């Protein structure tokens, strides 16, 4: 490879020639030579943002020289300089759960701009947008060869209205592509195909310009691609839509925490074990709103698949992103996955010329650091309710027993019931439960698979699923080898375990089949069920009716084990209360015992064909076995073949009919896609000032770690819920309810589903779970019905919360639903980054308690009236006064910090939200 660098008339724009092919680029060393500051020791992740400033300062848009100099000051200040900047990502990634409402908003904006006298074609993405349909497949069928096709057929039956709408969007909007169902998970498609690490495009003069590949995505796990040195993170659909339409992302120059990895993984451990430890450490460290960059000698022994696993779970450890700089492993991965050789050479040359290459001398300045010797990693799982609840595998069974004791402590266990059946063959003798000590409930079930006992800890779901691990051939091949060895010894899944395999891309199936491992996985029940998120997003599908009934009739603490990233309450299945994250090989192993009470590190998994005891060590593959199969079967040719026609889809997708029109003809009968009310009747001019909040009532009083799953669940719902009643009123049978996630194009369903998670607890009520509150008459009612009653009285509403309010998915409906219920403010101890931004984007003002004030210290019951003054002249991060009037007439004044963080967010709130702001500006330009 030959490389040469030339000069341009700009101070920072240079020309890079690689093997005779020239591209322009913006040079960080040239900026330093021009006297803009010392950028030598900035982390690579921050240099990516700095390059963005250089590029957009050169065209005179939104960036000043002082913004660039601020990065040098960041280094001089020890990794801190929270200056507001305007950042423009190269592209946008979406999945269908969040993508459908985003396209709904764009379609509504076209109607809105026409109503304001503009042109519908003004509403078009200015940056490339890829939407991957991956969240809609549900595991109705499993454990047999027909599972994949039957699930695909049901997916199209359920979602044809949504798919018709998305296909219309693909033809109606410029710069918008759709990857059809059955292709893979968006983050895996992004990592394996869409991303380039260094992007190229032509400028207004037709000159090719190279710059770092960057993106934002409408899914929090967009961060996965940082494993390939592509800077990306999740935003709400609202913020992504603004980015599509050319609006810069307003952000503060972030702190960057350096995470040093040393040593090497030991025999018997996996990348999943490593990431679960990383999550625990970084959650304890506290990295919300910060970049994390991984460095150190350990990266030399860490394959990109493991890096992507760590980067994927940045939302779980709370960071904006977890970034890995470009190095030799990055180039190896790009080559293996089928990227063009000229692009790979450009990536190497660009990274070295612009100071973004990691080698042995890489030693940047960080805001703070922490370190982990990978040689200390042991097999582990996390659960039962949070990803950061790390458990060494040899402590898993005892930890579960302690969890059960805690759950049962309020009950008189001596009077607990036992499930009885009336099937043939009589009732089996009760089996001992390890660590029972009178705390476990148990029951008996008769199914077609036989009669058996269920009890607290019975594993009813074992799923190889999600973006986190199913892009990693080391753990996927490992799972296949565990299945092979178990099969050889005559072991199989327990009959009460619902097993499933949902790879992140078709390439995974290619190498599992090439290694003859899919046959082994099939033999013990891990048949292919689809290419999508499935269990991790709550699309686990129904359990067998007899099992579901036993769990619910006798209040059993059923468990799931999944290779995912999320295990929040009420997410995985309405029948499952304890959910554990694990590597794919461990998911297979746990399916063989079907019980969280079993210590699989020491206890017998079963007997082989000769009656000999089989232990985990007998079926666990060696690192060398896995590596050899990966080397043989994960080939460049497989990636080239599977992605050759990625946008074409199968015959089902090609048969989806749609209309050819600039604006969408909203079907009056649709219960999936409806024109939202955001822009209807909107004036051309925004409010001149933000209104203070007077006489607000409390809609909900919530605790710590209220996730976006609590606020806006994605999974199934019952007929008795407000959403179920709405669909029933519209003649939708229960079988066709689908999920909240699939209904996100219909604001009527989503409003009714806001704060409707089955496990959410409103502290205004005693011990009640679910979406309930006190109505205007003081009686218990649904949150939706109470909100509508308050709206009828023109009464504003507020929500109170604890720490880490809005953790989890980048779910814009958690903010949209909050706004549509009439909530004007959310007051919490702290916010997760994405949800705070989404609230502002929907015109809802977030506030944080100051000093020692909390909902508990203030003795709040939800009966209070709240007023927040001084918002007419509020500035970013300003303290404001809040008065709380108690039911007895007492008034207490407290100080809140207004979490409108930047000046542009002030304008968003004045306009009623970011999309209103963009729409008005476009209308004015017309």
Specify the pairing of strand 291-295 against strand 865-868: unpaired
pLDDT band with cut points at 50, 70 and 90 for residue 434: low
**Same fold for the pair 403-638 and 693-712+754-925:** no
Top-confidence residue, 331 or 714: 331
Count of CB atoms situated within 10 Å of the CB of 852: 6
Q: Is 182:650 a contact under the CB 8 Å cutoff? A: yes
Residue 4 pLDDT: 60
Q: Is 487:519 a contact under the CB 8 Å cutoff? A: no
202 pLDDT above the threshold of 60: yes
345 pLDDT above the threshold of 50: yes
Q: Which helix (H) or strand (E) holds 809?
A: none
Residue with tokens 């991957």: 132
The span from the CA of 826 to the CA of 900, in Å, is 12
* CB neighbour burial string for 867-876, b if at least 16 within 10 angstroms, e if fewer: bbeebeebeb
Closest listed residue to residue 527, CA positions, set 492, 564, 579, 573: 492
Residue 703 pLDDT: 96
Closest listed residue to residue 384, CA positions, set 564, 594, 559: 559
Classified as helix, coil or strand, 26 is strand
- 89-248 — its CATH code? 3.30.499.10
410 pLDDT above the threshold of 80: no
The span from the CA of 586 to the CA of 533, in Å, is 19
- 403-638 — its CATH code? 3.30.499.10
How confident is the model over 899-913, as a mean pLDDT? 93
pTM: 0.85
Residues 6+ apart with CB under 8 A from 612: none
Mind listing the pLDDT tens digit for each residue in 437-458? 656 777 777 666 678 889 999 9
Residue 539 pLDDT: 81
Q: Is the dihedral angle over the CA atoms 332, 338, 341, 345 positive or is it negative? A: negative
Mind listing the pLDDT tens digit for each residue in 561-573? 999 888 887 788 9
Mind listing the pLDDT tens digit for each residue in 615-664? 999 999 999 999 999 999 999 999 999 999 999 998 999 999 988 899 99
Q: 693-712+754-925: which CATH topology?
A: Aconitase; domain 4 (3.20.19)
Query: Where are the chain's structural domains?
Result: 89-248, 403-638, 693-712+754-925
414 pLDDT above the threshold of 70: no
pLDDT band with cut points at 50, 70 and 90 for residue 136: confident
Closest listed residue to residue 13, CA positions, set 1, 31, 40: 31
What share of the chain in percent tops pLDDT 70? 95
Residue 60 pLDDT: 63
Mind listing the pLDDT tens digit for each residue in 505-559? 999 999 999 999 999 999 999 999 999 888 887 888 899 999 999 999 989 999 9
């Amino acid at each position: 490879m030959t490389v040469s660098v030339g000069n341009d008339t700009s101070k920072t724009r240079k020309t890079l020639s690689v093997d005779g092919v020239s591209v322009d680029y913006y040079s960080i060393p040239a900026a330093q030579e021009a006297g803009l500051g010392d950028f030598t020791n900035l982390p690579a992740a921050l240099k990516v943002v700095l390059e963005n400033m250089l590029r957009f300062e050169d065209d005179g848009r939104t960036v000043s020289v002082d913004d660039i100099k601020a990065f040098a000051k960041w280094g001089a200040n020890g990794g801190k300089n929270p200056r507001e900047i305007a950042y423009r990502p190269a592209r946008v990634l979406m999945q269908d759960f969040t993508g459908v409402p985003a396209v709904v908003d764009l379609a509504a904006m076209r109607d809105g701009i026409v109503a304001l006298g503009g042109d519908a074609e003004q509403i078009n993405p200015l940056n490339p947008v890829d939407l991957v349909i991956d969240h809609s497949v549900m595991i109705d069928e499993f454990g047999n060869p027909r599972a994949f096709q039957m699930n695909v057929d049901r997916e199209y039956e359920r979602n044809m209205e949504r798919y018709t709408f998305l296909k219309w969007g693909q033809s109606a909007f410029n710069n918008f592509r759709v990857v059809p169902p059955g292709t893979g998970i968006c983050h895996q498609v992004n990592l394996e195909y869409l991303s380039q690490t260094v992007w190229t495009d032509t400028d207004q003069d037709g000159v090719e310009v190279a710059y770092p590949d960057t993106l934002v995505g409408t899914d929090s796990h967009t961060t996965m691609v940082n494993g390939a040195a592509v800077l990306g993170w999740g935003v709400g659909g609202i913020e992504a839509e603004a980015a599509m339409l050319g609006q810069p992302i307003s952000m503060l120059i972030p702190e960057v925490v350096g995470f040093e990895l040393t040593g090497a993984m030991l025999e018997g451990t996996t990348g999943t074990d490593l990431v679960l430890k990383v999550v625990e450490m970084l959650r304890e460290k506290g990295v919300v709103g910060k970049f994390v960059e991984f460095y150190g000698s350990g990266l030399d022994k860490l394959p990109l698949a493991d890096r992507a696993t760590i980067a994927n779970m940045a939302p779980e450890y709370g960071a904006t992103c977890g970034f890995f700089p470009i190095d030799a492993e990055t180039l190896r991965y790009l080559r293996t996955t089928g990227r063009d050789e000229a692009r790979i050479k450009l990536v190497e040359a660009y990274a070295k010329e612009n100071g973004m290459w990691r080698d042995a001398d890489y030693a940047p300045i960080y805001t703070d650091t922490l370190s982990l010797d990978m040689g200390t990693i042991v097999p582990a799982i996390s659960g039962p309710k949070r990803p950061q609840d790390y458990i060494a595998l040899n402590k898993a069974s005892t930890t579960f027993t302690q969890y059960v004791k805690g759950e049962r402590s309020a009950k008189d266990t001596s009077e607990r019931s036992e499930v009885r059946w009336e099937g043939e063959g009589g009732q089996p003798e009760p089996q001992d439960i390890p660590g029972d000590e009178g705390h476990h409930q148990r029951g008996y079930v008769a199914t077609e698979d036989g009669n058996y006992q269920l009890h607290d800890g019975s594993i009813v779901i074992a799923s190889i699923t999600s973006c986190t691990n199913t892009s990693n051939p080391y753990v996927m091949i490992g799972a296949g080898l565990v299945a092979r060895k178990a099969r050889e010894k005559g072991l199989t899944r327990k009959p009460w375990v619902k097993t499933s395999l949902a790879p992140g891309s078709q390439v995974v199936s290619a190498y599992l089949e090439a290694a003859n491992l899919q046959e082994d996985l099939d033999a013990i029940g891990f048949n292919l069920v689809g290419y999508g998120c499935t269990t991790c997003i709550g699309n686990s599908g129904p359990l067998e009716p007899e099992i579901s009934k036993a769990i619910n009739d006798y209040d059993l603490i059923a468990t799931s084990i999944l290779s995912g990233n999320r295990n929040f309450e009420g997410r995985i299945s309405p029948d499952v209360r304890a959910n554990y994250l694990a590597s794919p090989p461990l998911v297979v192993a746990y399916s063989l015992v079907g019980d969280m009470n079993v210590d699989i590190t020491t206890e017998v998994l079963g007997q082989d064909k000769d009656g000999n005891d089989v232990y985990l060590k007998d079926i666990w593959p060696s690192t060398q076995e896995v590596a050899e199969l990966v080397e043989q079967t994960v080939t460049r040719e497989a990636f080239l073949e599977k992605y050759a026609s990625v946008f074409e889809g199968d015959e089902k997708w090609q048969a989806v009919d749609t209309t050819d029109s600039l604006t969408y003809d909203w079907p009056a009968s649709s219960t999936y896609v409806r024109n939202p009310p955001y822009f209807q009747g909107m004036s051309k001019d925004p409010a001149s000032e933000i209104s203070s909040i007077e006489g607000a009532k409390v809609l909900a009083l919530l605790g710590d770690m209220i996730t976006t799953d609590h606020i806006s669940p994605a999974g199934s719902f019952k007929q008795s819920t407000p959403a179920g009643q709405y669909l029933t009123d519209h003649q939708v049978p229960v079988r066709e309810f689908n999920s909240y996630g699939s209904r996100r194009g219909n604001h009527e369903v989503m409003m009714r589903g806001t704060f409707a998670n089955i496990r959410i607890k409103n502290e205004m009520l005693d011990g009640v779970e679910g979406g309930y509150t006190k109505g205007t008459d003081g009686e218990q009612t649904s949150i939706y019905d109470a909100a509508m009653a308050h709206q009828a009285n023109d009464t504003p509403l507020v929500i109170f919360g604890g720490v880490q309010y809005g953790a989890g998915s980048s779910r814009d409906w958690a903010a949209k639903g909050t706004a549509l219920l009439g909530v004007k403010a959310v007051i919490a101890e702290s916010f997760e980054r994405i949800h705070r931004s989404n609230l502002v984007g929907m015109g809802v003002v977030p506030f944080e308690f100051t000093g020692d004030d909390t909902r508990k210290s203030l003795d709040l019951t939800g009966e209070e009236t709240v007023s927040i003054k001084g918002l007419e002249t509020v500035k970013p991060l300003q303290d404001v006064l809040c008065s709380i009037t108690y039911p007895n007439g007492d008034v207490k004044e407290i100080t809140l910090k207004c979490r409108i963080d930047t000046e542009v967010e002030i304008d968003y709130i004045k306009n009623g939200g970011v999309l209103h702001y963009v729409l008005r500006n476009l209308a004015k330009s017309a």
